[in-house]
Structures are given as C-alpha cells and as structure tokens.
C-alpha cells in the first residue's frame, strides 16, 4: 500500500466506456423487470399469467437470476466512481443538498404519489378493484406506499450520507492503493463477498425487505460502491489491461454457464414435460 495521500480532482472526466456500460445496464434493467412481469421469480406490480405447463417462467427465472448476480452491483460501482469528485467539487453541505434534491425529492414523489397510482392501475387491470383512486388509497394505507424500483435511489441516498459522514470524520487523506496486480487478490475478494452474502442471506432471505431494500443483496452492492470510490481515487480503470479483462470476462461467462447448467438440470427434474422439450 502506498502511504501517500490521495487527492481527488474536483471534476471527473467523461468516460465513454462507463457511458456505454450504463446504457447497457439500463437496457438490462428493462429486460429484467419485463422478465419478472412475464413470469420470472420476483415481485412486480402486474404479472402476466403463464399458460399451464409453460417453461417460460422457468427460463425467464434463469435469465433474471444471472443478471441479478451483477447488473445492479455495477450500477453501484458506477455511482461510487463519481462520488469522490462530486464531493470534492461541492463540499459536504452542497454535496448532500444536491443529493437530496436529485435523489430525495423524486423518491418522496414516487413513494407517496406514483407508487399508489401504479398499484391502483395494476389492480384495476386485474379486475381486483373498481373503486376510485382516492378510495383505493384510503383503504390500503400504508401498504399502498412504497419505493418500487426507486429502492436504488434510496440506497444511493443512504450511501451518499455514509460517504459524507466518513469524509467528515476522516483525520487524514486517504492512502493510495494500486490496482491488485495478482489475480489471487481478486479471487479472495470474490470468495469473501460470497461468504458474507451467504451469511447475510441466512438472516435476510430473498424477499425480506425494508422500504424495498432487500438486504440479502447488499454485501455486493456495498462492496462494489466502495470499489467504484477506490477506482476513481487511484485510477484503477486505467490500470486494467485488455488481456486481463478478457480473461476475467471468460471466467464470468464460465461461472454463469455452470450456474445455469445446475439450474436447468433442476428445471428438467421439476417441470412437467421439460425433459421432452429440452
């Protein structure tokens, strides 16, 4: 570890690679929630009933399970990457004021206005209610309120508060940490996150949430947010060579393929007619 203090530039340069990644992840978010709406495992406002005996829900669950393993964590990494420069350029007060304006206001509007409307429209479409919006909301308070997909915005707001508090309490500049030269460090990091996530999932299984935050997923989200912060401070993205990135991309594909293979085998075992179709 380099003990020299890190000084973060007040403005972060525009990175085309991150723009492309963010665009791709946004498309994946749309595909992910569309998959849930058409039968993948997960919660959504309205789910299209699948034909009896259809493999669609199981196949869509495989898709959603694979992208859930990385796509939101990468969003947190991108957010973490731009946090140090925003804090350095604005200062603590302006940084938090900006975050509450950009994140807090939309969150409050969605929680108290848009989420009840979306829930109401879904129930009307399902034929489960015929009353007016006002009557529906009055009869379902407080359950009709919620963060919905803006749980991500709530999490970013919490992370921003945590970052500002950490910087406020910091007594000396952060030390410099070069990008790990050994793949063994990355392997140990992945194993550690996996073990922590496993333990957290025991206490907070999938589906258990607070204000829409499924805590079982958060070990990876927190780790990748701080990875993004460190990547910005120490220019980690510039230190990643193409050959190494391709190697780890292949590892990721192989890991996903193994997971899908096990899940598909379980699909064949459980789903009527699946063996014949596959």
Could you read off the pLDDT of 81-100 as tens digits, one per residue? 999 999 999 999 999 999 99
- Is 238's pLDDT higher than 90? no
Residue 234 and residue 84 in contact, taking contact as beta carbons nearer than 8 Å:
no
- Is 120's pLDDT higher than 80? yes
- Is 41's pLDDT higher than 90? no
- Is 275's pLDDT higher than 50? no
Residue 8 and residue 85 in contact, taking contact as beta carbons nearer than 8 Å:
yes
Please provide the average confidence, as pLDDT, over all residues in the chain: 87
Q: To the nearest whole percent, how much of the chain has pLDDT over 90?
A: 58
Phi, psi of 4 (to 5 degrees): -65, 140
pTM confidence score:
0.87
**3-state DSSP call for residue 32?**
helix
- Is 152's pLDDT higher than 80? yes
pLDDT score, position 147: 94
Higher pLDDT, residue 237 or 273: 237
Residue 45 and residue 126 in contact, taking contact as beta carbons nearer than 8 Å:
no
**Of 239, 229, 237, nearest in space to 8 by CA:** 229
Residue 162 and residue 215 in contact, taking contact as beta carbons nearer than 8 Å:
no
What do you get for the CA distance between the two ends of the chain, in Å?
Answer: 52
Could you read off the pLDDT of 107-118 as tens digits, one per residue? 999 999 999 999
């Amino acid at each position: 570890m380099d003990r020299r203090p890190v000084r973060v530039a007040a403005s972060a340069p525009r990175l085309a690679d991150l723009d492309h990644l963010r665009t791709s992840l946004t498309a994946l978010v749309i595909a992910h929630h569309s998959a849930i709406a058409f039968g993948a495992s997960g919660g959504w406002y309205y789910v299209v009933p699948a034909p009896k005996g259809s493999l669609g829900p199981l196949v869509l669950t495989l898709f959603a399970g694979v992208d859930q393993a990385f796509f939101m964590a990468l969003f947190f990494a991108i957010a973490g990457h731009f946090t140090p420069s925003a804090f350095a350029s604005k200062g603590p007060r302006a940084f938090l004021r900006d975050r509450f304006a950009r994140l807090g206001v939309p969150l409050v509007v969605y929680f108290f206005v848009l989420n009840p409307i979306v829930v109401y429209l879904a129930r009307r479409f399902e034929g489960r209610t015929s009353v007016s919006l006002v009557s529906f909301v009055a009869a379902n308070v407080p359950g009709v309120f919620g963060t919905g997909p803006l749980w991500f915005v709530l999490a970013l707001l919490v992370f921003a508060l945590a970052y500002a508090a950490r910087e406020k309490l910091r007594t000396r500049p952060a030390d410099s940490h070069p990008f790990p030269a050994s793949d063994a460090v990355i392997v140990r990091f992945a194993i550690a996150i996996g073990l922590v996530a496993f333990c957290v999932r025991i206490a907070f299984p999938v589906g258990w949430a607070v204000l829409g935050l499924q805590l079982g997923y958060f070990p990876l989200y927190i780790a990748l947010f701080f990875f993004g912060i460190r990547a910005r401070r120490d220019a980690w993205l510039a230190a990643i060579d193409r050959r190494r990135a391709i190697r780890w991309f292949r590892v990721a594909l192989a890991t996903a393929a193994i997971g899908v293979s096990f899940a598909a085998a379980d699909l064949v075992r459980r789903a009527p007619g699946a063996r014949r179709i596959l």
